[in-house]
Structure 1
Amino acid sequence: MLSPSAAAAAPEPSAAVPVPGPSAAEAVPGQSTAEAGNPFVDGWYADPDTMVDDGTYWVFPTTSKPYAEQVSLDAFSSTDMVRWTKHSDVLTTADISWAEYALWAPAPIERDGKYYLYFAANDIQDDAQLGGIGVAVADRPSGPYEDAIGRPLVSQFHNGAQPIDQDVFIDDDGQAYMYYGGWGHANVVKLNPDMTSLGTFADGSTFREITPADYVEGPQMFKRDGTYYLMWSEGGWTGPDYSVSYAMSDSPTGPFRKIDKVLAQDPAVAKGSGHNSVVNVPGTDIWYIVYHRRPLSESDGNHRQLAYDRMHFNADGTIRRIRMQVKDNFADGNALGWRTYGGTWSAAGGRYRAGISRGGKALLDTDFADFTQDADITVSSGSGDAGLAFRVTRPGTGTDRYTGYYAGISPRGEVVLGRVNDSWTPLGSAPVPVAPGSTHRLRVTAVGSGIEVYVDDMAVPKISVTDSAHPSGANGLRVFGTGASFDNVTVSPAG
């Protein structure tokens, strides 16, 4: 959970070195999503929680592996939410005498110059088993963290809540709360100022149930303009119905009545989106939802990735429904989420570069039917063209080894559109002023059987055709007989 620090330590060196770029003040405010692409870090991770510490954004996720292999936690830090540094093994089961596996949902927070990391371990199924929610402590956010009390902080079921998925929140009056619970029940407890022991409520109770409608797991608490927001996950974590809902209250202990589902799978972008946290850019009313999701082509339940999108509020404080966006400006120096088929591809200098090949492709794991796709394209010398592939299925390595469409521009001054089914069928072409080495904005809008191609001037299409051979598929980039570089790729639903 978020907690500005009074005394912060610099991130320790890591194998992942950030690429120099704009300052946090330039890069973070106003982003509509992870502008450099989701996932924003490499690897299979889930259940992210966040902390902002002296201008650095921290994300602590679960390592998404089979239970027996979930024995360590990594963290990621960034000053701009674009370039992320990995900090490996900030906490492992070797550091916790009672923890064996299922190290889940780390929740970081700072208090009085100390950094506390709450975690669940052992996935206990009843009160006879050893495990539950623990707390570790360190002198800096990157760790190393040590077991603070040598035993679980919450070791049994209370009010039916499995002791997992903890989130910690410190209110403006200094009172700390922990929200937690699986198996369809949520509890809140008070934390004493030492952050390692539980307090009591005015009625003498320790565990207060706050379960809202449709709650499954993954509570998240934040406060905005004096209102308390409780978010949680619904559905099954391995299924496409995993999603995020929320409630609002004038008290940190509720009552919490469900208002709406704000994040759900998008069959064109990703599935299983859930178990979220939030980031508030300090000193602003800019908020992001940070969550995990599963790529469309992945069926393994543990193949989850970290993503974030902008979170907006209505005038009455309610949260607008969030649509997962598809963008990549390659400012992070990588091409995470892209899969290549032939050719040579590399991300550097804020661009995605392709060498000359006979039909090299780079595709996103999307499945759009009606959409608008854009990219800035710089075409080098050569007799071919470079541009956008869309509604792609059955991709393979080879000149026309795919099914779908392609629109490209060439250094000879032409824009082309064609249909592909392991062979090329021209659908249209038009002259455009293109000089080798110049950059042009290429756009394709496809709605039903109508396909329009724009170059630079988005008011009038250069090519407009009707073709219904391929109704949906992946979006991406392609080169044919020329080298090119790409930037500012976006795909969004049409309309």
Structure 2
Amino acid sequence: MPRPTRRPSPRIGARALLLLAAPWVLAADQPARWDATGAANPLLPGYFADPSIVNDRGRWYIFATIDPWGDDRLGMWTSENGRDWRFATPEWPTKAAASSPTSGDAKVWAPSVVKAANGRWYMYVSVGSEVWVGTAPSPAGPWRDANHGKPLIARDFAPAYHMIDAEAFIDDDGQAYLYWGSGLHWVNGHCFVVRLKPDMVTFDGEPRDVTPANYFEAPFMMKANGRYLLTYSDGNTTKDSYKVRYAIAATPFGPFREAANSPILQTDSRNDIVSPGHHTVFRSGGRSYILYHRQALPWPQGGDAVLRQVAIDRLVIRGDGTLAQVRPTHGGSVAGFSPARDKGLRWKPVGGDSTAGRAGDDNYATLWRAPATGKAALTADLGSVRRIKGSRLRPEFATRNYRYTIEASRDGQRWSSLVAPASHTGSPVTLPHPATARYVRLTVETANAGLWEWSID
């Protein structure tokens, strides 16, 4: 069964890291529970996996698989402050534009984005069971196929394994390498590596099998203290066994020996952290972080859908080039990121819906859901009559259409229309509606629609 699984300032995979890391310090404002108000994890409002993060000219970009199990497009989130993210889909790749007779019916997933020595950006992405490569002058695009409309790594390169999860690594001498590979039926993963020529597309030599112990998929190479650290995922992302391991070598081609303290990130059931993995490592504010996906909560959710969310935590790299155990959290700030999201005007829910507050708790792990039949309304009390500018809605699925209506009232009795019924997609959905009011009523006319957050400006 095919599956996705994926990787983020300039990312650590794009340059060598030499870092004497400070010991972990628990943020004083870290929420203790996954459903606590103001939790910083998940980082993104929605279901995404296999993240890759880069920074260009002060703007952050996260490229990710769209859950469940991929989409005909990739998800791309952008932010200037690392806390407030806007969703889009890059023009390439798409299932239609990056597909071959052997790619299979699986979707687009697992992007890796890196800036090459030639100044251009390159994306290595899985489409079906093959790896494709695209290029752009900026992470914002425009992205275009870089290999003449054919896969860089075809499915039949090694048909006993999945040809997915490609990750580029650029050594401190400018030499680029590409790592990839997974297994079939959740077993027997293999990792391959090849040196890339300066065009970032042509192989410089033959690919080699460098599979370390307990490897399944999602390789990510980094360098510390002159040693090469191959980090990777093991286990099953649909269960609670997914985790991050690492192995060490003296060269990019190995041989790799798994570190004594591997794995470094795994399920913590007591704290509701389930199956963290398919990660990337990046730096911000002079510190290192690991960006990864984990199961959406509460888990298990029931049904066949696999819904994962993107989280971020501190990664300590010791002076000897080994990695410390990662302490996964539901909160805590990232150096260089805004310490809090832009929440807009604070409001309290009005009415008998005990879950209505989830749409205003500044936590992307919790959401309010409309009933399975009919429409539903959320009424926000701003506490006093005040001037408002508009609303920002973060729906459960950024790629789906939802139908909304917004009204306003000074006294909660007489209402005036601010936003007429209409369908919207994206995240956030920005709806200008200047008015003077104490109460604002949002009516969701889409059955079973979920809403992560409703911000009123």
Q: What is aligned with 1:453?
A: none
Q: What is aligned with 2:344?
A: 348
Q: What is aligned with 2:198?
A: 193
C-alpha contact (below 8 Å) 1:168/1:177 kept by paired residues = yes
Q: Decide which structure has greater strand share.
A: 1
Residue 89 of structure 2 aligns to a residue whose secondary structure is: strand
Distance 2:327 2:258 in 1: 19
Q: What is aligned with 1:135?
A: 133
Distance 2:311 2:192 in 1: 27
1:87 to partner: Cα distance: 2.6
Query: Which of residues 291, 312, 329 is equivalent to 1:325?
Result: 329
Query: Which of residues 274, 290, 313 is equivalent to 1:309?
Result: 313
> Residue 170 and residue 313 in structure 1: after superposition, are their counterparts in 2 closer, same or farther (change >3 A)?
closer
- Are 1:87 and 2:83 counterparts? no
Per-residue displacement from partner, 1:170-201 (whole Å, max 9, x unpaired)? Answer: 1111110001000110011111111111111x
Please say which of residues 268-277 and 162-171 is displaced more in the overlay.
268-277
1:209 to partner: Cα distance: 1.0
- Are 1:274 and 2:277 counterparts? yes
Q: What is aligned with 1:115?
A: 121
Could you tell me which runs of 5 or more consecutive residues in structure 1 were left unpaired when the two chains were aligned: 6-28, 124-131, 201-205, 334-346, 367-379, 382-495
Distance 2:169 2:220 in 1: 9
> Residue 146 and residue 247 in structure 1: after superposition, are their counterparts in 2 closer, same or farther (change >3 A)?
same
Per-residue displacement from partner, 1:273-323 (whole Å, max 9, x unpaired)? Answer: 1111111227x2x11100001123324442111111111133433212112
> Residue 359 and residue 292 in structure 1: after superposition, are their counterparts in 2 closer, same or farther (change >3 A)?
same
> Residue 317 and residue 4 in structure 1: after superposition, are their counterparts in 2 closer, same or farther (change >3 A)?
closer
1:77 to partner: Cα distance: 2.3
C-alpha contact (below 8 Å) 1:159/1:187 kept by paired residues = no
1:42 to partner: Cα distance: 1.7
Q: What is aligned with 1:210?
A: 210
> Residue 270 and residue 94 in structure 1: after superposition, are their counterparts in 2 closer, same or farther (change >3 A)?
same
1:110 to partner: Cα distance: 1.6
Give the TM-score normalised by structure 1.
Answer: 0.57
1:167 to partner: Cα distance: 0.3
Distance 2:89 2:61 in 1: 13
Query: Where do 1:70-81 residues align within 5 Å?
Result: 70-81=71-82
Distance 1:331 1:30 in 2: 18
1:360 to partner: Cα distance: 4.9
Distance 1:109 1:332 in 2: 27
> Residue 288 and residue 134 in structure 1: after superposition, are their counterparts in 2 closer, same or farther (change >3 A)?
same
Q: What is aligned with 2:181?
A: 181
Q: What is aligned with 2:17?
A: none
Instruction: Kindly provide the amino acid, as one letter, of the partner of residue 292 in structure 1.
Output: H
Instruction: Kindly provide the amino acid, as one letter, of the partner of residue 200 in structure 2.
Output: M
C-alpha contact (below 8 Å) 1:160/1:185 kept by paired residues = no
1:96 to partner: Cα distance: 2.4
1:152 to partner: Cα distance: 0.8
Please say which of residues 161-170 and 355-364 is displaced more in the overlay.
355-364
> Residue 3 and residue 360 in structure 1: after superposition, are their counterparts in 2 closer, same or farther (change >3 A)?
closer
1:222 to partner: Cα distance: 1.5
C-alpha contact (below 8 Å) 2:63/2:76 kept by paired residues = yes
> Residue 315 and residue 114 in structure 1: after superposition, are their counterparts in 2 closer, same or farther (change >3 A)?
closer
> Residue 253 and residue 79 in structure 1: after superposition, are their counterparts in 2 closer, same or farther (change >3 A)?
farther
Residue 76 of structure 1 aligns to a residue whose secondary structure is: strand
Q: What is aligned with 1:47?
A: 50
Instruction: Kindly provide the amino acid, as one letter, of the partner of residue 332 in structure 1.
Output: R
Could you tell me which runs of 5 or more consecutive residues in structure 2 were left unpaired when the two chains were aligned: 1-6, 12-23, 32-37, 184-188, 334-338, 367-382, 385-457
1:43 to partner: Cα distance: 1.8
Residue 262 of structure 1 aligns to a residue whose secondary structure is: coil
Per-residue displacement from partner, 1:80-128 (whole Å, max 9, x unpaired)? Answer: 32222323244222332536642120111122232211111122xxxxx
C-alpha contact (below 8 Å) 1:232/1:275 kept by paired residues = yes
Distance 1:359 1:163 in 2: 48
C-alpha contact (below 8 Å) 2:8/2:291 kept by paired residues = no
Q: What is aligned with 2:232?
A: 232
- Identity percentage of aligned residues: 33
Distance 1:321 1:97 in 2: 39
C-alpha contact (below 8 Å) 1:96/1:146 kept by paired residues = no
> Residue 254 and residue 54 in structure 1: after superposition, are their counterparts in 2 closer, same or farther (change >3 A)?
farther
> Residue 223 and residue 57 in structure 1: after superposition, are their counterparts in 2 closer, same or farther (change >3 A)?
farther
Per-residue displacement from partner, 1:16-61 (whole Å, max 9, x unpaired)? Answer: xxxxxxxxxxxxx999689851111122111112223233332111
Q: What is aligned with 2:14?
A: none
Please say which of residues 80-89 and 109-118 is displaced more in the overlay.
80-89
> Residue 287 and residue 360 in structure 1: after superposition, are their counterparts in 2 closer, same or farther (change >3 A)?
same
Distance 2:88 2:97 in 1: 16
Q: What is aligned with 1:152?
A: 151
Instruction: Kindly provide the amino acid, as one letter, of the partner of residue 74 in structure 2.
Output: L
C-alpha contact (below 8 Å) 2:240/2:274 kept by paired residues = yes
C-alpha contact (below 8 Å) 1:3/1:109 kept by paired residues = no
C-alpha contact (below 8 Å) 1:87/1:142 kept by paired residues = no
Q: What is aligned with 1:56?
A: 59
Larger Rg: 1
Residue 237 of structure 1 aligns to a residue whose secondary structure is: coil
Q: What is aligned with 1:251?
A: 251
Query: Where do 1:448-467 residues align within 5 Å?
Result: none
Distance 2:251 2:159 in 1: 20
Residue 236 of structure 1 aligns to a residue whose secondary structure is: coil
> Residue 312 and residue 121 in structure 1: after superposition, are their counterparts in 2 closer, same or farther (change >3 A)?
same
Please say which of residues 164-173 and 353-362 is displaced more in the overlay.
353-362
